[in-house]
Amino acid sequence: MAKAGRERMAKYYPLIILALVALLGYSVYMYQTAKPFNFGDGGGGPTSRKEQAEELLGLSGDYTTSQVKTAFREKSRGVHPDRNKSPEAQAEFIKLTEAKEFLLSQL
């Protein structure tokens, strides 16, 4: 009886393999076509990612690592997920975090 069940399943193996290959191909396609996160709203503001991150954190000119961290702490205090559970606040916190990480990686 178990052998008959295995034989019945065996006819579906090519279909299962085809589905897995298609899923892998789709995953690769989605990874390659993903666009980087855009901090701005597209309203004619800053043009470069660095300028967008600086504007979001309220920085300009030359700044140090500690200034970036301080600006992040000040801006993110009210939108931290532990203090504010709204989806908008969480999205803003993510933007601020990404801006901080980007600017720190540029120093």
27 pLDDT band, cuts 50/70/90, is confident
Q: Assess if residue 41 is contained within a domain.
A: no
Domain that holds residue 12: 2-33
Calculate mean pLDDT across residues 86-102.
90
Q: Assess if residue 43 is contained within a domain.
A: no
Q: Assess if residue 79 is contained within a domain.
A: yes
Q: Which of 12-21, 37-46, 94-103 has the lowest mean pLDDT?
A: 37-46
pLDDT value at position 42?
A: 54
Residues 57, 98 within the same domain: yes
Q: In this structure, what are the phi and psi dihedrals at residue 104, rounded to the nearest 5 degrees? A: -65, -35
Domain count, the chain: 2
36 pLDDT band, cuts 50/70/90, is low
Residues 86, 53 within the same domain: yes
With DSSP H G I counted as helix, E B as strand and the rest as coil, what are the percentages for the chain, rounded to 5? 70, 0, 30
Q: Is the pLDDT of residue 14 over 60?
A: yes
Q: Model pTM?
A: 0.56
